[in-house]
Amino acid sequence: MSKPVVSTDWLAKHLGEPDLIVLDASWYLPSSGRDALSEYLTAHIPGAVFWDLDAMSDTEAVLPHMMPDPTSLADRLGAIGVSDRDRVVVYDGSGVNLSAPRAWWQLRAIGHQPVWILDGGLGRWRGESRPLESGTVVRDTTSYVPHPAPDHFVVLEDVQALMEEGVQVLDARSRERFRAEAPEPRAGIRGGHIPGSLNLPFTELVTSDGTLRPPEELITRFETAGVDLTRPIITLCGSGVTACALLVALRMVGHERHLVYDGSWTEWGGRTDTPVAGGS
């Protein structure tokens, strides 16, 4: 399967196979009033292991949700029972691919190829009256051998240099945050956007049931946002999470030259020496 997503039908057919692991990668901003772990314990896809986004990030970093070094991530994967030999399907409960794409991208960054996102996530699975279970799932620990893949994440200095070379920067935040018409959810972060960057909110990539829009509609969304799909792209968001949802859509339309700015707006907007457009 070359697509980054699998259908609920596909997962239902293969669920329970010994080399297939399902990860519930749900995560929400504190302001949402939702508790991902509590929701997981109440109801999740049978056999799904909880992927704690914060625990699977660099816990020593000042910025939120930074990619950990490959060995650290591999150790954490082994601890929850995931090996580099397993097929992996990740999902979340947001209905808009909020956090599952981040887990997908992190796995790809350490060389995990058989990994997909459940199209429509938990919402579509539940809407089709498919089975759910409660409680926690604990798998036997195992070993994970990472094979780090280059060119997945970039840092601030890379963004600045690559923009000078003509690489496009695409922001997944809401239009209101992009224009500094709504406050940032994190204290001390300026409003606005990187000068010259483009905006396509990640919530516009899915239909009402949470499944990705057809490729022709995705292409239209990208082009309407000013994106040239023949050129490389750097994506960002608030903390590098929903930026990965843009990558899922890019993969769906055949675009493969893309990177994530891992520090994202929390880093850029939190500094005083970086230029900001549309805000203060």
- Angstrom distance (rounded) from CA 43 to CA 256: 35
Q: Which two tokens stand for residue 223?
A: 């082009």
Bridge partners for 170 per DSSP = 198, 235
Sorted by sequence, the CB contacts under 8 Å of residue 129 that are 6+ apart come out as none
* Per-residue CA distances from 114 to 35, 56, 241 (Å): 29, 19, 20
Q: How many C-beta atoms surround the C-beta of residue 244 within 10 A?
A: 27
Catalytic residue selected from 237, 245, 248, 260:
237
The structure tokens 């880093």 sit at 267
Structure tokens at 161: 């240099």
Six token digits for residue 86: 């397993």
244 noted as active-site residue: no
Catalytic residue positions? 237
